[in-house]
């Protein structure tokens, strides 16, 4: 029997996007990589982790693809996707009212990051621990960064710069509060930015390049190469 005093870790995957930049015949989360849909790779990563109590995926109300790829157990489909990622996550959280406790941890993960592994999930959960805010996977910037505005080019110091990945892990109540307080979806580009808008600072946990977000057609090949390789230890 589940102990209500011990926080659970659940996954929430917003998957209602249309993937316009991919220019494909179906939403990008359903494109084939290595013999199965991208979203199924993502679901399988959470299903392979003993630390995840359950996985929820948020799709649009009229999504015609999801039923064919969701496994029989371990995943619940929430047909309440919104016009933006932020809205889909917020709708998914509202649908889970009464299901999740305030102190439960929610790991929000992009459907188009198929390179996630059980090791990365474990690293995020263990390194974040009982952090008062939460944490997210991210990569420190290693390349020289340039800013170009009206043909004026300058170099941006990369010290302290990180590239945010997902999952991003926050307590259920805090994440609900942060997204309910957000009013501009164009400003809230990820869940951490909504939490940061409350004046809070999440912990950054180093991720891995294999956990890239598939955005352009060329990313499909890169993701496929990572998925074909054996994941490094603890990632």
pLDDT in tens, 169-217: 999 999 999 999 998 877 888 999 999 999 999 999 999 999 999 998 9
Structure token pair of residue 22: 């991919």
* Residue-level pLDDT at 24: 53
Q: How confident is the model at residue 165 (pLDDT cuts 50, 70, 90)?
A: very high
Rounded distance, CA 80 to CA 172, Å?
18
Count other Cβ atoms within 10 Å, centred on residue 32. 12
Q: Is 128 exposed, middle or buried (0-12, 13-18, 19+ CB in 10 A)?
A: buried
Cα Dmax for the chain: 62
Residue 235 has pLDDT above 60, yes or no: no
Cis peptide before 139 (omega within 30 of 0): no
**Whether residue 80 has pLDDT greater than 50:** yes
Domains parsed from the chain with CATH numbers: 9-228 (3.90.550.10)
pLDDT digit string (tens) for 1-48? 456 789 999 999 999 976 444 545 578 899 999 999 999 999 999 999
pLDDT of residue 158: 92
* Strand 105-108 relative to strand 162-171, pairing: antiparallel
**Cβ partners under 8 Å of residue 42, min gap 6:** 13, 29, 109, 110, 111, 112, 113, 114, 116
The helix/strand/coil state of 200 is coil
Average pLDDT value for residue range 60-78:
95
The residues pairing with 77 across neighbouring beta strands, listed in sequence order, are: 57
């Amino acid at each position: 029997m589940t102990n209500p005093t011990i926080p659970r870790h659940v996954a929430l995957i917003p998957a209602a996007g249309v993937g316009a930049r991919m220019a494909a015949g179906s939403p990008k989360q359903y494109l084939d990589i290595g013999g199965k849909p991208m979203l199924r790779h993502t679901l399988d990563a959470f299903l392979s982790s003993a630390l995840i109590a359950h996985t929820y995926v948020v799709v649009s109300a009229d999504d015609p693809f999801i039923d064919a790829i969701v496994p029989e157990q371990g995943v619940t489909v929430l047909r309440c996707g919104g016009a933006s990622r932020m809205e889909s996550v917020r709708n998914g959280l509202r649908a889970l009212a009464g299901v999740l406790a305030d102190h439960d941890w929610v790991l929000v993960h992009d459907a188009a990051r198929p390179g996630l592994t059980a090791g990365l999930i474990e690293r995020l959960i263990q390194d974040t621990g009982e952090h008062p805010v939460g944490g997210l996977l991210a990569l420190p910037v290693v390349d020289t960064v340039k800013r170009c505005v009206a043909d004026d080019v300058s170099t941006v110091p990369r010290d302290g710069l990180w590239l945010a990945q997902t999952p991003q892990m926050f307590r259920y109540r805090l994440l609900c509060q942060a997204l309910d307080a957000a009013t501009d979806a164009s400003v809230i580009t990820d869940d951490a930015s909504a939490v940061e808008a409350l004046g809070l600072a999440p912990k950054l946990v180093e991720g891995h390049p294999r956990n890239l977000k598939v955005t352009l057609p060329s990313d499909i090949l890169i993701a496929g190469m990572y998925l074909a390789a054996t994941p490094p230890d603890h990632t």
